[in-house]
Structure 1
Amino acid sequence: MGSEIILSVIGGMGLLLYGMHIMSEGLQKIAGHRLRDAMGSLTQNKIISLIVGALITVLFQSSTATTVILVGLANASIITLKQTLGIILGADIGTTVTAQLIALKVTEIALPVVGIGATIVFFSKRDKYRRIGQAILGFGLLFLGLKIMADGMYPLRDSQFFKDILLQMSDNPLLAIFVAALFTFLVHSSAATIGIMMVLAMQGMLPLVSAIYLMYGANIGTSFTAVLSSLSSTREAQRVATAHVIFKAAGVLVFLPFTIPFAEFMQSIASGPGFQVANAHTFFNIAIAFIFLPFTSYFAVLLEKIVPERKERSTEPRYLDDSLIGTPSIAIGLALKEIIYISDNTVKMLKEVKKVLESYNSDLVESILKTENRVDRHTLATRQYLTQVLRNPISKEEFTKCLRLINTVNELEKIGDIVEKNLLYLAESRKINNAKFSEEGNKELEIMYSNIFKLANMVNNIIMTNDSRMTYNALCLQEEITDLEFRSRISHIQRLSKGVVESENTSAIHLELINAYLKIAQHLFQIIEIANDPEILDIKNIDEFCNGGNIFDVNSFKQ
């Protein structure tokens, strides 16, 4: 008997957690791009932040997942600390929907739902419908797991020993809170903990007061996963995770002295024990939201003091967050921000190397080399990050974006290499040989550099905004730069034929500078083409890449 109960609980828990996972995955695939837009373009309106947080958590079925994503977005500076506070409070409300569904006894239709979801997954040819089927299948598995646990634990209602343990929770609230917090932290799901509590309550084994104490612990435990995910992140991300813990802990401290009257109030508004526990969970999180929401601005200031700033290491990625790789729409956005940072540094190198070419400065050379080393490190990290994203099941649009970004960052890296290996070398050669260009030759090089630097800034803006007008202007510059390069060579040869001494002494450096500038221009134009011409990516077998061997892809079963 005992082993059957244990196996039922473990198996049911596994199905419940797996169901939540694939349901969340399916819903994110359906609305992933909208998710990033919603979270990344919030206004300062606290109510909107609250609503968005609640809706997104209904999508994820996990306030922990929402908070982990917020940690990543704050780490990438996509949203501010003040914005995240409202979303966190809303997320805590959204996560209570699962408890309300359990109270409705949706478990009775779990098997038909699993059947419907599986049918859609296996027989639909379109990705969109397979994702919907995946979400339905996950929903059914969630409640099937809950039903298996409920059936498995039913014999415990006759166990006096088990009843005594649960009654102890009423007499020792701190123990109840600790046990529930620890269990929730281990399974990464407050919904799982609340679900088990509701099963016990509906079978008459768990008093409401004990259930409320356990509910307090589940709410605290769910906040610690985000803390772990933020340990290696920026201070802003750590503040987001800390805020979640403080909200939950403070809420428990406010409610704890009033638990018994709170339980009596819940009993007065709902007759069934399942609804009483579910309503207590919902009411607790709504109350926390309304208590703290008006003071989020002040709380943000307090968090900045609790978690003060520190000097960030510039060699490490600024925006990439491994915890968000499983959410491709957001991960790609973070990679884009990292590439914008790389592009900014590339433009900075081009600006500084011009000064070195004019007047050699060892300190400035060292600064350029440090920047180039930083660009190399960030480029490698970004390329690896996007490669990991490609290993996930992603849409064709996301696949194309990933390839574009990988190609873009490769071109930026090549520009950095030209600055380091060509332009700095030529600047040093010019210094050693005390080489001076002719007045006409120097003017030609100045004009060519000016156009290259102008193009680099245009490309930087195109990467940031994908502005079609900027793209048109940059392409117009292509013909001008090509013409400049040709005329500069002809003009230089004419000066050599006339015996201009400066041109004779600097001929090699002059021509190599033109070559270097032209190569930089070619890489910049390549970035523009990548941004505007999908054919340049030469995408083959895109469906295979996009499906990523997903177990819910029908084709993967046929192989």
Structure 2
Amino acid sequence: FIGFTTQIARIVELVIPDKPISVDEELLPKFLDDSLLSTPSIALENVMREIARMGRYTRSIVDESMPLAISGTKLEVNKIAEKDKVIDSLHYYIIEHLGSISSSDLTKKQSRQLINCIQIANGLERIGDRIATDLVVSSIKRISENVTVSSQTAKVMMKFHNEVVKALDSTLTAIASGDKKLAKNVRAMKGDVARMNKEITKHEIQRLTADAPNRIATYAREVEIVDIFDNIFRIIRRIARVQANQKKKSVKTDAPKSPEQDPIKEKA
């Protein structure tokens, strides 16, 4: 599979992001070991462990992002953008390490696993970017436009957000345990999420016609926030598809027993 491996190496070179400038311990990989590159099977297992760690950071910022989008201060919103730097850094090191692994003479199974790792890591990084860019910008607009999200609307939006977090939790668990059925369940959540989105749209239209101050700007920001989380859900489904299409059970990782654990506050 040398020819196929060469093609993979070229693909990896194209997707390697810019190297992070900071050298904070939190931004550095914990499981990637260059001395194990000569043993691709072990090296790929370690990549999966690092991806699990990256997933915990991603889950953390997704979990806290909706409350901040609804009522967070500018300082709080900017802090969550800073947390995305950890995800970006781990993404860089993971992709770089996969590039080194791809230079080895991989089996067909290992080549598939390497590609899956790239897809999962890229998906998690995109989720972080949606929070750090799109949601942060939307939140800053909300603040500058003096938009206040009503408690009733906030409740509806949080319900939608909880469903997105549930999908991410299930996807990360499916990847860690190799559970194809659970990954397929995430894929099947599309209908429920679409119905919730439709209900929110109806709610927003009713709010738009109400005689409320600043209703146009409020409508725009609320719809924008929901669209961002809908996009995040779509990314999660694509990540779940990687696991759902696995031919073999994934390697076991050190995924957290409790998804509520906040890795951002830990020194991983």
Q: TM-score, normalised by structure 1?
A: 0.38
Q: Output the amino acid matched with 2:59.
A: V
Structure-2 residue corresponding to 1:9:
none
Q: How many residues align?
A: 224
If asked which structure has higher relative contact order (CA below 8 Å, sep 6+), I would say 2
- Give the aligned partner of residue 435 of structure 1: 147
Q: Compute the RMSD of aligned alpha carbons.
A: 2.1
Match of 1:488 in 2: 200
Q: Distance in 2 between matches of 1:511 and 1:394?
A: 47
Give the superposition deviation at 1:454: 1.4
Match of 2:114 among 377, 402, 409: 402
Preserved contact between residue 349 and residue 368 of structure 1 (Cα < 8 Å): yes
1:517 to 212, 215, 229: 229
Alignment partner of 1:383 out of 95, 108, 123: 95
Equivalent AA in structure 2 for residue 482 of structure 1: A
Contact 1:418–1:520 at 8 Å: present in 2 too?
yes
Q: Deviations over 1:530-552 (max 9, x none)?
A: 112269xxxxxxxxxxxxxxxxx
| Matches for 1:471-550 after TM superposition, within 5 Å | 471-501=183-213, 503-533=215-245
d(CA) in 1 for partners of 2:95, 2:57: 17
- Asked whether the equivalents of residues 492 and 503 of structure 1 are also in contact (C-alpha less than 8 Å), the reply is no
Q: Once the two structures are superposed, what CA deviation does each residue of 1:38-61 show, in whole Å capped at 9, x if it has no partner?
A: xxxxxxxxxxxxxxxxxxxxxxxx
Runs of at least 5 residues in structure 1 that lack an aligned partner in the other structure: 1-311, 536-559
* Aligned residue in 2 for 1:77: none
- Residue 142 of structure 1 aligns with which residue? none
Q: Rg: which structure is higher?
A: 1
Q: Secondary structure at the match of 1:506?
A: helix
Amino acid paired to 2:43: A
Q: Which amino acid aligns with 1:325?
A: L
Distance 1:367 1:442 in 2: 21
CA distance in 2, matches of 1:498, 1:353: 28
Q: What's the % identity of the aligned pairs?
A: 21
The residue aligned with 1:421 is 133
Equivalence map 1:22-421=2 (5 Å): 313-361=25-73, 364-421=76-133
How many Å apart are 1:402 and its aligned residue?
Answer: 0.5
Measure, in 2, the Cα distance between the counterparts of 1:382 and 1:346. 15
Number of the residue aligned with 2:165: 453
Give how far 1:386 is off.
1.0
1:389 shift after superposition: 1.1
Q: State how far apart, in whole Å, the 1-side matches of 2:66 and 2:151 are.
A: 17
Residue type at the aligned position of 2:67: K
Q: Cα 1:437–1:368, aligned 2, differ >3 Å: closer, same or farther?
A: closer
Q: What residue identity is the alignment partner of 1:424?
A: V
For 1:497 and 1:360, the matched residues in 2 are separated by: 26
> 1:313 deviation in Å?
1.1
Q: Secondary structure at the match of 1:314?
A: helix
- Indicate the SS of the match to 1:392: coil
What amino acid does structure 2 have at the position aligned with 1:318? Answer: K
Distance in structure 2 (CA, Å) of the matches to 1:386 and 1:363: 36
In 1, Cα distance between equivalents of 2:207 and 2:176: 42
Aligned partner of 1:114 in structure 2 is none
Change (3 A) 1:314 1:438: closer
How many angstroms does 1:355 deviate by?
Answer: 3.5
Q: CA deviation at 1:479?
A: 1.4
Cα shift readout 1:382-404 (whole Å, capped 9, x = no counterpart): 01111221221111111101001
Alpha-carbon distance, 1:509 to partner = 0.5
Distance 2:74 2:178 in 1: 37
* Cα distance in structure 2, aligned partners of 1:491 and 1:363: 30
Unaligned runs of 5+ in 2: 1-23, 248-268
> Over residues 84-112 of structure 1, what are the superposed CA-to-partner deviations in whole Å (9 max), with x where a residue is unaligned?
xxxxxxxxxxxxxxxxxxxxxxxxxxxxx
Q: Match for residue 82 of structure 1? A: none
Paired AA for residue 447 in structure 1: K
Q: Deviations over 1:327-385 (max 9, x none)?
A: 11001001001111111000111122233224324554454233211111110110111
SS in 1 for 2:25: coil
Rounded to whole Å, the distance in 1 between the matches of 2:184 and 2:69 is 30
Matched-pair contact (CA < 8 Å) for 2:84–2:129? yes
For the 8 Å contact 2:180–2:245, the answer to whether it is kept is: no
Indicate the structure with greater helix content.
Answer: 1
Question: SS state of the match for residue 317, structure 1?
Answer: coil
Deviation of 1:441 (Å): 2.8
Asked if the contact 1:455–1:524 (Cα under 8 Å) also holds between the matched residues in 2, the reply is yes
How many angstroms does 1:451 deviate by?
A: 0.7
C-alpha distance in 2, partners of 1:511/1:320?
41
Distance 1:422 1:486 in 2: 21
| Shift in CA distance, 410/356, structure 1 to aligned 2, threshold 3 Å | same
Matched AA of 1:391? S
2:29–2:50 Cα contact (<8 Å) kept: yes
Contact 2:183/2:243 (CA < 8 Å) preserved in 1?
A: no
One-letter identity of the residue aligned with 1:531:
Q
Specify the SS of the correspondent of 2:27.
coil
Would you say the 8 A contact 1:379–1:413 is kept in 2? Answer: yes
| C-alpha displacement of 1:482 | 1.4
